Amino acid sequence: MQKVSIIGSGNVGVNSAFFIAEMAAAHIMLIDIKEGMSHGKALDLMEAAPIRQYRTKIEGSHDIKDIKDSDVVVITAGLIRAPGRDRGEHFQKNVDIIKGLCKSIVELAPNSTIIVATEPVDAMVMVICRETGFDRKRVMGIGGLLDSTRMAHFVAEKLNVSPRDITALVIGSHTRLMLPLPFYSRINGIEAGMLLSAEDIEEVVTNTRDAGSVIVDLAKRSNAYYAPSAAIAQVVEAICIDTKKVLSMSIMLAGEYGLEDVALSVPCKVGANGIEEIIELDLKNEDLQALAASAEPIRSYF
C-alpha cells in the first residue's frame, strides 16, 4: 500500500486521514511541528479501526523527515481564515511556511505528487511548482473540487433529491470570481437547467460562491474542514488506486483555455501519475472571459 504524508494535523489534516483510512487508499503519516499532536491524533484514529474496520496504518510525527519516500504529500499546514477576512490575507505568512516545506519535499519525497489545501490554494500551487521544480501535473489544489461538491449540495438541496445523484462543475480560482457552470451540472444525467428555474440557478451559484465565508462566519473559530477533507481523500484515492477520476483541480496552466503562468481549477483526469489529462471544454466566449477574470486575484499576489 502506498504512503501518504499529511503535513498539518489540524481539522483538515486529521479528517483527511480518517476519510483516506475509510477508503483503504493508503497508509498515512500525519506530520505537525507541535510535538505530540500528530502522535495523539494518529493513536485516536487507530483506536477507531476495530469499529470502523479500516485496514490502513496511521502514524504521527513532529519530524518532517518522516515524509521520506511518500508517494503523495498533502499540505494543509498554514494559517486559516478568520471571520470577515479574505482567503488571501494570510498569503505572505503561508508562503513562508510553504517554501520551507518545499525544500523538505524535494529532498525527502522527490517522486511524490503534491495535493494542496493551504489557502490561498491557487497561489500556493504556483508557489510550490516554482519552489520544487516538479512537473506541473504533480502539483494540484483542491479549490475547484471543493467548490464543485458545494454546488452539488446546493442543487440537491434546492431539488430535494439525493446528493448522490448530483454532479456539478466549478472552474476558475477559489475566490468569489470562481466560475460555476450550471450547464455541466447533472441530476442523474438530467441537465440542471431542465429542473431548476433561472432564479434557482442564480441562487445556487451565489450560495456556492459564498459557501466558505458563510461557514467561517457561522462557526466563528473554525473553518470548513469536512468537505475539504473529503475532497482531499477523493484525490488521494484517485492517485493511489488509479481511478482515473475526472475532477476540477487547480493546476498551473500552460496555454489551456488561453491562459498561462497561473493556477486555476479546470477539469482533469487524475490517476497514478497525478494529473494525466487536462480537459478543455468548449466554453462560450463569456465563460472564457469570466475564467480569465477569475485569474486576476491570483496574479495579484505575485
Catalytic residues: 174
Q: Helices 11-23 and 226-240, interaxial angle, to 10°?
A: 40
Nearest to 250 by CA among 265, 236, 262, 260: 265
CA distance 300 to 302: 5
The grid coordinates listed for 44 are: 485516536
The grid coordinates listed for 39 are: 502522535
115: which DSSP letter? Answer: E
Q: Are 175 and 144 in contact (CB under 8 A)?
A: no
* Strand 190-191 versus strand 186-187 pairing type: antiparallel
Q: What count of Cα atoms within 13 Å lies in the side-chain half-sphere of residue 213? A: 13
